[in-house]
Amino acid sequence: MVSISVDLMGGDHGPEVTIPGVALSLERHPDTRFVLHGIAAECEPILARHPALQKASTFIPAEIAVQMDAKPSQALRQGRYRSSMWCAIESVKTGNADVCVSAGNTGALMAMAMFCLRTMANIERPAIAAIWPTMRGESIVLDVGATVGADAQQLIDFSMMGAAMSRALFQIQRPTVGLLNIGVEEVKGNEEVKEAGRLLRDANLPGLKYHGNVEGNDLGRGTVDVVVTEGFVGNIALKTAEGTARQIAQYLRAAMSRTLLAKIGYFFAKGAFDLLREKMDPGKVNGGVFLGLNGIVIKSHGGADADGFANAIDVGYDMARNGLKARIEQDLNLYHSRRPSDLSGPKAGVDEQGQ
């Protein structure tokens, strides 16, 4: 039995989307127990439409919901102990749930998760890992928004956490890891990236295989199983890819409706275009994983529909079922038992928006 704590109030549409999403995930994973957090007046009428979910869940009323535009400091000050987001995270801390899922404000979710769960031993800053569609299937990219300006040690930590996630999610015994850079040559890039690459190669960790540097065009190719970068670059890459996918979809839609012949061609190729649209839909690979905390937290797209929110819950289910936290701790303990003592670097921070 996997226990999942859900913030029902998060996202652009709140319980109207999150509750049907939870119900859909329950159909996929009947061995799941849910701990649901939300404002009773808004959630209970919708929950009544899903009797199977009511039987498989516990609903805990919350006083307030964190607004999508709230600053992390404001959300932490006003929503600590009272909001559905905080209570959902706290269920993981108390052991009442294995994982927390929210579609709420990213910065607030990260601030509350760090304050409530704290980071793992030997981890200075957490990372947000995204599942990235590629020509070879799917890979993992991190960090996509939590830690801006990561130093060499933090990039190494991200590498180990991403590799552990790849083993848990994709069952890859020794994932390949690459550092995102402006070129594949070892002499390129800033000093932190070059130092991280040297240390990863020298460490020869059993939980991952260091590939070397990768470039931006390697993200879509699936050159490696795990792509590692700091949060500023990673967040730009993620949003650029999502924007490009929507742009291509609009181009195709306009081209297919331009002439009668194009419309006829679309009719015969509709199955192929449907498959392409599904591959390019960010909601199909929804669910950013907060790594490096003493508990698993999943961030769903705020604009996800019920199916997309269910996909984020499914990611949390897989992470809990396959022991992500234990895998990360094992890799970190092994590395730090052999770690050179002279490694140092600037401390990284999280920006005010959590981006």
Residue 345, pLDDT above cutoff 90: no
Query: Which homologous superfamily does the CATH classification assign to the domain defined by 128-282+328-337?
Result: Isopropylmalate Dehydrogenase (3.40.718.10)
- Residue recorded with tokens 């195709």: 252
pLDDT digits (tens, 9 = 90+) for 322-344: 888 888 888 888 877 766 554 44
Residues 6+ apart with CB under 8 A from 238: 130, 141, 144, 145
- Residue recorded with tokens 């849910």: 34
Q: What is the DSSP letter of 61?
A: E
pLDDT digits (tens, 9 = 90+) for 22-53: 999 999 999 999 999 999 999 999 999 999 99
pLDDT digits (tens, 9 = 90+) for 60-93: 999 999 998 888 888 888 878 889 999 999 999 9
pLDDT digits (tens, 9 = 90+) for 157-208: 999 999 999 988 888 889 999 999 998 888 888 899 999 999 999 888 888 9
Amino acid at position 134, single letter: T
Taking residues 342-351, report their average pLDDT: 42
CATH 3.40.718.10 domain residues, the chain:
2-117, 128-282+328-337
pLDDT grade, residue 137 (50/70/90)? confident
Q: Which residue has the higher pLDDT, 312 or 124?
A: 312
Q: What is the DSSP letter of 32?
A: E
First-to-last alpha carbon distance for the chain, in angstroms, is: 34
Exposure of 95 in the CB half-sphere (CA atoms within 13 A)? 0
pLDDT, position 283: 61
The most confident of 218-222, 255-259, 310-314, by mean pLDDT: 310-314
8-22 as b/e, with b when 16 or more CB fall inside 10 Å?
bbbbeebbebbbbbb
pLDDT, position 188: 85
Residues 6+ apart with CB under 8 A from 118: 293, 294
pLDDT, position 279: 64
Name the residue among 296, 350, 319 with its Cα closest to residue 124: 350
Asked whether the bond before 151 is cis by omega within 30 degrees of 0, the reply is no
What would be the CATH architecture of the domain defined by 2-117? 3-Layer(aba) Sandwich (3.40)
Residue 241, pLDDT above cutoff 70: yes
| Dist. CA 297–CA 88, nearest whole Å | 10
pLDDT digits (tens, 9 = 90+) for 138-148: 899 998 988 88
| Dist. CA 222–CA 323, nearest whole Å | 25
| Dist. CA 247–CA 215, nearest whole Å | 22
pLDDT digits (tens, 9 = 90+) for 282-302: 666 788 899 999 999 999 988
pLDDT digits (tens, 9 = 90+) for 299-322: 998 888 999 999 999 999 998 988
For residues 162 and 228, is the Cβ–Cβ distance under 8 A? yes
